[in-house]
Homo-oligomer: A and B are copies of this chain.
Amino acid sequence: MDFDEVVRKRKMIREYDLGRQIPNEIVSRLIKNAHTAPSAGHTQVQEFIIVKDNATKKKLRKAAVNQEYVEKAPVLIVVCSNVSRSVGRYGNRGKEFYSITDGAFASMLILLTVVNEGIGACFVGAFEDNKVSEILELPKDVKPIGIICIGYPAEKPGKFERINIDALVHYEKYGSYNGAQQSSNI
């Protein structure tokens, strides 16, 4: 699919056709693209846990403020950052900042690739880290960044309204719009 079309079509899908599994070939292509994600100093912290087991999905749902699509999605990809590859080099910034940007880069690639593959996904960031770590047996240096719920869409949600782009773009410094001070847009 054309790149801009993928970007335009992307939206979070939270209801899935429960009768259709996601073919392994598609999961592989999602991971393949996620594997191209950049990382701070090429530390390649990103790792991926593919979850299909119902009991595990049920536990993850509970760890994720009971969001039901975490349990119902045919497949989950839990994106993690292995900070053992960055902490020695970057200290706290590696642990508390790059780990999150890098995990999010890989997650965004999955969310876009999903559209290109004709399926649907939802990024879940609301969860209790320690519970997810326990469920997935993550070593202490591996941090969960997002639970991506994936399936064939069973809904066609509309696009959300968005803040006008002019109010979000600044020129040279914060609060300058189109070169002038047009703060009435905010």
Question: Contact at A35–B168, with CB atoms within 8 Å?
Answer: yes
Question: Contact at B165–A32, with CB atoms within 8 Å?
Answer: yes
Q: Give this chain's copy count.
A: 2
Question: Contact at A165–B31, with CB atoms within 8 Å?
Answer: yes
Contacts of A93 in B (CB 8 A): 126
Residues of A with Cβ closer than 8 Å to B? Answer: 1-8, 10, 12, 31-33, 35-38, 40, 42, 44, 46-53, 56, 80, 93, 96-98, 100-105, 107-109, 111-113, 116, 123, 125-126, 135-139, 142, 145-146, 160, 162-163, 165, 168-175
Do most interface residues of chain A lie in helix, strand or loop, or is the interface mixed?
mixed
Question: Contact at B101–A146, with CB atoms within 8 Å?
Answer: yes
Question: Contact at A38–B111, with CB atoms within 8 Å?
Answer: yes
Question: Contact at B173–A49, with CB atoms within 8 Å?
Answer: yes
- Which one, B33, B97, B174, contacts A7 given CB within 8 A? B33
